[in-house]
Amino acid sequence: MRIALLGAGTVGAAVARLAARRPALKIEIAGAFVRDASRARDGVPRLTANAFDLLDDATVDVVVEVLGGEEPARSLMLAAFERGKHVVTANKMALATHWAELQAAARVAKRELRYEASVGGAMPIIATLRELAGTKVVSLRGILNGTTNFILTKMEDDATFFEDALGAAQRAGYTEADASMDLDGFDPAYKLAICVATIERRPFDPGLVRRESVRGVSRDRLADARRRAKRLRYVAAADFGAKAVKARVGLEEVDEGSILAAPRGPENAAEIATADAGTIQLRGPGAGGEATATAILGDVLALASRR
Catalog residues that contact ligand NAP under the rule CB under 6 A.
Answer: 7-12, 33-36, 66-68, 72, 90-92, 117, 121, 287-289, 292
Residue 270 CB, nearest distance to ligand NAP (Å)?
15
Residue 187 CB, nearest distance to ligand NAP (Å)?
8
Distances (CA, A) of 223 to 158, 206, 242: 11, 32, 38
- Answer whether 283's CB lies under 8 Å from 267's CB: yes
Residue 84: left (phi > 0), alpha (psi -120 to 50), or beta?
left
Helices 99-109, 186-200: inter-axial angle, 10-degree rounding = 40
User: ∠ at Cα 233 (231, 237), nearest 5°?
Assistant: 125
Instruction: Using the minimum distance from each CB to ligand NAP, give the nearer residue, 12 or 263.
Output: 12
Residue 161 CB, nearest distance to ligand NAP (Å)?
25
Alpha-carbon distance 259 to 261, whole Å?
A: 5
Instruction: Using the minimum distance from each CB to ligand NAP, give the nearer residue, 36 or 220.
Output: 36
CB-count burial class (<10 Å; 0-12, 13-18, 19+) for 287: buried
Instruction: Using the minimum distance from each CB to ligand NAP, give the nearer residue, 222 or 288.
Output: 288
Instruction: Using the minimum distance from each CB to ligand NAP, give the nearer residue, 76 or 254.
Output: 76
Q: Is 238 helix (H, G, I), strand (E, B) or coil?
A: strand
Residue 213 CB, nearest distance to ligand NAP (Å)?
19
Alpha-carbon distance 158 to 151, whole Å?
A: 10
Q: Which of 154, 191, 243, 246 is catalytic?
A: 191
Instruction: Using the minimum distance from each CB to ligand NAP, give the nearer residue, 7 or 31.
Output: 7
Residues 6+ apart with CB under 8 A from 17: 42, 43, 290, 293
Phi, psi torsion values for 245, nearest 5 degrees: -105, 130
Residue 13 CB, nearest distance to ligand NAP (Å)?
7
> Is 243 among the catalytic positions?
no
Residue 269 CB, nearest distance to ligand NAP (Å)?
15
According to DSSP H, which parts of the chain are helical?
A: 10-21, 52-55, 73-82, 92-97, 99-109, 125-131, 146-158, 162-171, 180-183, 186-200, 219-227, 289-305
Instruction: Using the minimum distance from each CB to ligand NAP, give the nearer residue, 15 or 106.
Output: 15
Residue with the CB atom nearest ligand NAP in the bound state: 9
Alpha-carbon distance 149 to 177, whole Å?
A: 17
The residues that are catalytic are 191
